Amino acid sequence: MNSALTAFRYVIARDLLLAMRRKADVLTTLFFFVIAVSLFPLGIGPDTELLRKIAPGIVWVAALLAAMLSLGRMFADDHRDGTLEQMMLAPQPLGLMVGAKIIAHWLLSGLPLVLIAPLLGLQFGLGGDALLILVASLLLGTPVLSLIGAIGAALTLGVRGGGVLVSLLVLPLFIPVLIFGAGAVEASVTGLGPAAHLSLLGAILLVALFFAPWATALALRIAVE
């Protein structure tokens, strides 16, 4: 048990360290999110009511697309340098190691989006309550994007044009997260209450946490073999 937890922490620390040596990959996702969200107020104009109405969908679509940018790199480097084969031969469960890589991916691509989203929401005239719900929905939803995206990245590992293929595979699965995430913020803005949407996002997250690492591990074994 101790060795498994040590390996789990090591994989997270290793991926974070490697990412810090390639800061451009991390910043690309963040800059895309910021630019994509910021262009809409410039293009639509100063209509505050319209901006407030479309803000949830815009922020969530931009977050979804930004998360997809980094999916192709989740396992590609480990596959290229042989690290992935070593993980499969290790005594620790592969699903546990995959879970560590998914956490590292979310810390690098999902968490920065959550942290900067309130600042971007101010451009659309969102109030304090709506900004809090926006952060809560992203905290629940962006891990799901990493979990589901990991399955798609594993299925397309080593395939030519895998970056486009993984987008086609995971995009339909991202739609419920997009609907409930944007719906929670919209419900807060209109005064209907976001509890139902956030509960559904939480349920999706729990299901994805249980199934996604092991499904990803199975897909990786198939891809490598």
CB 71 within 8 A of CB 110: no
User: What's the mean per-residue pLDDT of the chain?
Assistant: 85
Nearest Cα neighbor of 112 from 205, 34, 22 is 34
Residue 160 has pLDDT above 70, yes or no: no
Nearest Cα neighbor of 72 from 161, 174, 182, 171 is 161
CA dihedral 184, 186, 192, 196 (to 10 degrees): -20
Nearest Cα neighbor of 177 from 134, 121, 137, 131 is 137
Residue 1's alpha-carbon distances to 4, 8, 46, 91, 188, in angstroms, are: 5, 11, 57, 11, 43
Segment 100-118 shows an average pLDDT of 90
Residue 214 has pLDDT above 70, yes or no: yes
CB 170 within 8 A of CB 149: yes
Residue 170 has pLDDT above 90, yes or no: no
pLDDT, one tens digit per residue, over 41-95 is 888 777 778 888 888 888 999 998 888 888 877 887 777 777 778 888 878 888 8
pLDDT interval class at 162 (50, 70, 90): low
Which pLDDT does position 163 carry in this prediction? 65
Segment 160-166 shows an average pLDDT of 68
Q: What is the pTM of this model?
A: 0.89
Pick from 17-21, 89-93, 115-119 the range whose average pLDDT is largest.
115-119
Residues in the chain: 225
